[in-house]
Amino acid sequence: AAQTATPKSSFNFTEITAGSDETHHAPEGYDADILMRWGDPVLPGAPAFDPQKQTAAAQKLQFGYNNDYIGYLPMPGAVDPSRSGLLVVNHEYTNEELMFPGLGGRQESKDANFGKMTKDLVDIEMAAHGGSVLEIRRDGGKWAVVPGSKYARRLTAETPIAISGPAAGHDRLKTSADPAGKTVLGMVNNCSGGVTPWGTWVTCEENFNGYFRGKAAGQPDEAKLKRYGAPANQYAWGKFYDRFDVAKERNEINRFGWIVEIDPFDPASVPKKRTALGRVKHEGAAGILARDGRYVVYTGDDERFDYVYKFVTEGRFDAQNRAANMDLLDRGTLYVAKYNADGTGEWLPMVHGQGPLTAANGFASQADVLIDARLAGDALGATKMDRPEDVEANPKTGKVYVILTNNTRRTDAQVDAANPRANNRFGHIIEMTPNDGDHAATGFRWDILVKAGDHTVAATGASFHPSTTKDGWFGMPDNLAVDGQGRVWIATDGNSPAKTGRGDGLWAIETEGALRGASKHFFQVPAGAEMCGPFFTPDDETLFLAVQHPGEADDEDPKAAPATFETPSTRWPDFKPDTPPRPAVVVITKKGGGKIAV
Ligand code: FEO
Ligand code: CA
Ligand code: CA
Ligand code: CA
């Protein structure tokens, strides 16, 4: 009988070897260049990075810490849209122990540094949060930041941001500094995000609970605070700023946990917290146009046993009129996902007055539904997921990928069809197909693309395609990128060299055909880092990657020494003896040019 030919991989590159060392690795034939590091100048007058003499004034002009989401927006009218554009970058959080001399301890024990944190250090941290807008150009083969660009911008934990949408001005958003409840200073823990068809950047506040101090017990909002794990006392900001102490400023915490929209083409524009999209620990905000032109934003709430959401605008995108699109995200319907065991699912509307979302159940208005979105999801009976991270649609196939990073607290009794593994160490990826291919539809079908982990060890229950090599499997997926050809790439957060023989990185995964579920290793981060921000230029010739928190210790290695400013696990990317590791944006291009992995 005729042999069936071995199916051909959609990804043409030589897989790298899984592992971990002091530096980054890309496949043979590719350049991986550093574009921008923590402390590099963004705004005019920025001093050169001096880790021994940091100041908040300098940090406000320099690239922030822990780059996470990266989006690329082509410059309108550019001769080549893939060679000139704006790069928008989130600065999620800070690692005090790696940033500042003389502090000890790991990131997980930030509170141990509470006594050592001075106001000057807190002010540097606040300036290192938020985001950066950079104008970049590719001249010849290489990308560079355009110096002195009028678009260059830093956003921090102190940038004035308008509160817009249904909850704006609500009593629960009013503070002593803002009695109108319409302007908040700063955005924090901006993890992933998205860019819209009208050329704006949506960036998500994730673990905002960590910035607030105090105790939930005894507070008037005790139950609501507890549902958000707040206050988590991970930073010392509340020592110097009353607004970050829940006992001193009751409502400030209600002003964080939102999706923020920024117009990077207008550096004077005021960013807006879009309350219509709900308040949860948003991982990302990738969107896609529904067939009728309404815009649909998918978002995950990254917590064990929390939910997957989508927002559908009321208005339609108008490609001819940018101004008409600028507040589309203020009106629409928020939904939360329910996954049924038979492979169907429903988007449950989060609308005040409908179903259980009534005053009798604690929701006096739509503002309450949005501010307490987790409680509204509970009331609606949404499906409790294994930490929903990035949720992103593939425009080529219409399918939606939901990344569930892990959940080691799920017990056998709590296993369900959509979260099928107890003690889910390695996570999984769900594929959703909207009914009638319509992203605005309220019904969908779903399936599991892959259960992550080492598929050669039966006990893990991992389900990669058997052709996946020992280097090709991954655990703890976090973010995804879809390239211009509709191919899916997965970035990871939490692989442990000590436990799983590999650090984090980027993997390419087949989603269609006979090789569905086959994965190949493309990029490895330096020691201690996680992989964030995969984003392709429209021509697929450039891939932007964010290397976050390089130099941390392997937290699953009990023998690992504490990683500090003085003793990081790597000094990537500078490798100078007195320079700490620096989170940085890496640019991948093919030597000699051409599309990546083709
Ligand atoms: Fe900031 Fe869910 O990772
Ligand atoms: Ca992160
Ligand atoms: Ca993430
Ligand atoms: Ca993560």
> What would the pLDDT profile of 218-261 be if each residue is shown by its tens digit?
999 999 999 999 999 999 999 999 999 999 999 999 999 999 99
| Atom of ligand 1 at shortest range from CA of 68 | 1
DSSP code of residue 237: H
Find the largest Cα–Cα distance for the chain: 80
Q: What's the pLDDT at 582?
A: 98
CA 478 / ligand 4 centre spacing (Å)? 5
| Atom of ligand 1 at shortest range from CA of 389 | 2
Tell me the mean pLDDT in the region 577-596. Answer: 97
**Ligand 1 binding pocket includes 303 (Cβ within 6 Å):** no
Tell me the CB-side half-sphere exposure of residue 248, using CA atoms within 13 A.
Answer: 13
Where does the pLDDT of residue 5 fall: very low under 50, low under 70, confident under 90, or very high at 90 and above? confident
Q: Average per-residue pLDDT in the chain?
A: 96
Q: What's the pLDDT at 7?
A: 87
Q: What's the pLDDT at 4?
A: 65
Where does the pLDDT of residue 559 fall: very low under 50, low under 70, confident under 90, or very high at 90 and above? confident
**Ligand 1 binding pocket includes 92 (Cβ within 6 Å):** yes
Cross-sheet strand order for the sheet of 488-492: 477-482, 488-492, 505-509, 519-524
Tell me the mean pLDDT in the region 92-110. Answer: 81
Tell me the mean pLDDT in the region 536-559. Answer: 94
Q: What is the pLDDT of residues 350-370, one digit of tens each?
A: 999 999 999 999 999 999 999
Tell me the mean pLDDT in the region 168-179. Answer: 98
**Ligand 1 binding pocket includes 390 (Cβ within 6 Å):** no
CA 301 / ligand 3 centre spacing (Å)? 11
Q: What's the pLDDT at 52?
A: 96
Rounded CA-CA distance 487/122 in Å is 42
Would the pLDDT of 166 be above 60? yes
CA 139 / ligand 2 centre spacing (Å)? 31
CA 548 / ligand 2 centre spacing (Å)? 7
Question: How far, in Å, are 143, 529, 564, 566 from residue 571 at the CA level?
Answer: 23, 11, 11, 10
**Ligand 1 binding pocket includes 206 (Cβ within 6 Å):** yes
CA 302 / ligand 1 centre spacing (Å)? 6
Q: What's the pLDDT at 113?
A: 80
Where does the pLDDT of residue 110 fall: very low under 50, low under 70, confident under 90, or very high at 90 and above? low
Rounded CA-CA distance 205/247 in Å is 22
Question: How far, in Å, are 420, 491, 562 from residue 416 at the CA level?
Answer: 5, 25, 38
Among the bound ligands, name the one nearest to the CA of residue 552.
2
User: For the chain, what percentages of helix, strand and coil (3-state, to nearest 5) are there?
Assistant: 15, 30, 55
Rounded CA-CA distance 297/254 in Å is 22
Q: Helices (H), strands (E): how many in the chain?
A: 9, 30
Predicted ipTM of the assembly: 0.95
Q: How far is CA 445 from the centre of its chain?
A: 25
Would the pLDDT of 280 be above 60? yes
CA 77 / ligand 3 centre spacing (Å)? 33
Q: Identify the sign of the CA torsion 47, 52, 57, 62.
A: positive
CA 4 / ligand 2 centre spacing (Å)? 43
| Atom of ligand 1 at shortest range from CA of 93 | 1
Q: What is the pLDDT of residues 484-514, one digit of tens each?
A: 999 999 999 999 999 889 999 999 999 999 9
Alpha-carbon Rg for the chain in angstroms: 23
Where does the pLDDT of residue 106 fall: very low under 50, low under 70, confident under 90, or very high at 90 and above? low
Would the pLDDT of 378 be above 70? yes
Percent of the chain with pLDDT strictly greater than 90 = 94
Q: What's the pLDDT at 104?
A: 77
**Ligand 1 binding pocket includes 302 (Cβ within 6 Å):** yes
Residues around ion ligand 4, judged by CB within 5 A, are 478, 493
**Ligand 1 binding pocket includes 389 (Cβ within 6 Å):** yes
